[in-house]
Amino acid sequence: MPPLTNGGITNTWASDCPSVAGPFTFGLHACRRPARVPWAKGAVETLFFRYLPTWGTELNKKIILKKVVKIMKNIIENIRFFCLAAAVLFFTGCSDSPSCSESPDGNYTFRLPGSVKLEMVKIKAGSFMMGTPQGELGRSPNDNEEKLHQVTLEKDYWLGKYEVTNAQYEAVMPYGGFPKGFHKYPVQKVRWRDAKEFCDRMNELFKNQLPPGYHFDLPTEAQWEYACRAGTTTALNSGKNLTSEEICPNMGEVGWYFGNSYGLDCDASVRSYGAHPVGEKKPNAWGLFDMHGNVREWCLDSQSDARFVRGGYWYDYARACRSGVNDFYLGGAEISAGGNQGDGFRLALVPVQ
């Protein structure tokens, strides 16, 4: 039978639909297929018009056909998307494999699994006065804890630009599950041994990409304080001292502490309980953020049964967040100390001892 023309659209008869006769439109009892349709829709119609006449009313056929065509279009779009994504990954050489890059100024950016970035700042070797001078506001009356003495660091090293975040921790460790929206926050409740495990896993991930003679570890107290001070000799790495041991505006410029994280800051607009996303306060002169407050940071050092933390955290008064003060946990012999709210760490890339 010759083609039937209807409104300028050429139609062909479905010869294998004996149960109906006449041009097929969903409002009439006939079976036809447009000759010029997108290939996906045409394929669906070819399949369904062969069998649909035995499936109930024409209205049901119309509903089923529309749904199937929509599903197939979605499938095709998904296939196109994944093919395009695969092509981009192939031609750009991008993959989920850990990698690192070095900037002209010697800083490193490490790409962790899941394309999570971890940035590290190069700290050049040098000497400084470790500890605090007598008379510094907030200083411990026990001179041995903050005794002023000269320290020389003979080799360059790298320190995390920020405290290790939930996203970075989750990318490296075999557990995590942090709530969405908190990936830029510093990881908390980390024990000393957990922080060391993170370093070990980083060494395994990047074992063929690190500078010769260097490995990931926690910083020593000397490495931490030298990097924190960034050439300053004041209580804060901004070049300012405390004006009050507890609530101090100078401390609020560089870190999150009791005064602006527990509702007592004079500026009510910045009150917000708990830790905050990294990098929101002023960095020091070497580009390191949150060296004061937010979370305490584990150091490698131990003394007898103690493990040391630096920097203070969001619930501490200003005096506990100074550059030269430390705190400690007992239980270091079992390497299970810490793990409390406010306990975090900052990654270091240091010479192998």
Q: Give the chain's domains with CATH numbers.
A: 4-92 (no CATH), 99-351 (3.90.1580.10)
Higher pLDDT, 67 or 222: 222
Res 9: pLDDT = 38
**pLDDT tens by residue, 3-25:** 444 444 334 333 444 443 343 33
Residues 265-276, mean pLDDT to the nearest whole number: 63
Residue 290, token pair as written in the block: 């949150």
Quick check: 333 and 307 in contact, CB under 8 A?
Answer: no
Phi, psi of 277 (to 5 degrees): -55, 145
Location of structure tokens 């001070």: 229
Give yes or no for residue 26 having a pLDDT over 80: no
Res 177: pLDDT = 64
Residues 37-45, mean pLDDT to the nearest whole number: 52
Task: Give the percent of the chain with pLDDT over 90.
Answer: 58
**257: buried, middle or exposed (CB in 10 Å: 19+, 13-18, 0-12)?**
buried
137 half-sphere exposure, CB direction, 13 A CA radius: 15
Structure confidence at residue 45 as a pLDDT band (50, 70, 90): low
The β-bridge relationship of strands 214-217 and 255-256 is unpaired
**pLDDT tens by residue, 72-99:** 777 887 787 666 655 544 444 445 689 9
Give yes or no for residue 40 having a pLDDT over 70: no
Give yes or no for residue 1 having a pLDDT over 50: no
Alpha carbons 287 and 150: distance in angstroms, whole number: 23
Angle at which helices 58-92 and 39-51 pack, to 10 degrees? 150
**pLDDT tens by residue, 101-133:** 999 999 999 999 999 999 999 999 999 999 999
Higher pLDDT, 122 or 141: 122
Q: How does the average pLDDT of the chain come out, rounded?
A: 81
Res 219: pLDDT = 98
Residues 211-230, mean pLDDT to the nearest whole number: 98
Residues 303-307, mean pLDDT to the nearest whole number: 86
Quick check: 138 and 242 in contact, CB under 8 A?
Answer: yes
Alpha carbons 227 and 311: distance in angstroms, whole number: 12
Task: Report DSSP state, residue 96.
Answer: S
Higher pLDDT, 158 or 82: 158
Q: Which of 299, 283, 307 is nearest to 350 (CA)?
A: 299
The β-bridge relationship of strands 116-123 and 326-330 is unpaired
Give yes or no for residue 41 having a pLDDT over 70: no
Alpha carbons 301 and 92: distance in angstroms, whole number: 43
- Tell me which range, 60-74, 110-124, 259-273, is most confidently predicted by mean pLDDT: 110-124
**pLDDT tens by residue, 221-250:** 999 999 999 999 999 999 999 999 999 999
Lowest mean pLDDT among 10-19, 204-213, 286-295, 323-332: 10-19
Alpha carbons 276 and 188: distance in angstroms, whole number: 11
Task: Report DSSP state, residue 165.
Answer: B
**pLDDT tens by residue, 315-352:** 999 999 999 999 988 865 445 566 788 999 999 999 99
Location of structure tokens 């009791």: 258
Q: Which of 150, 200, 133 is nearest to 172 (CA)?
A: 200
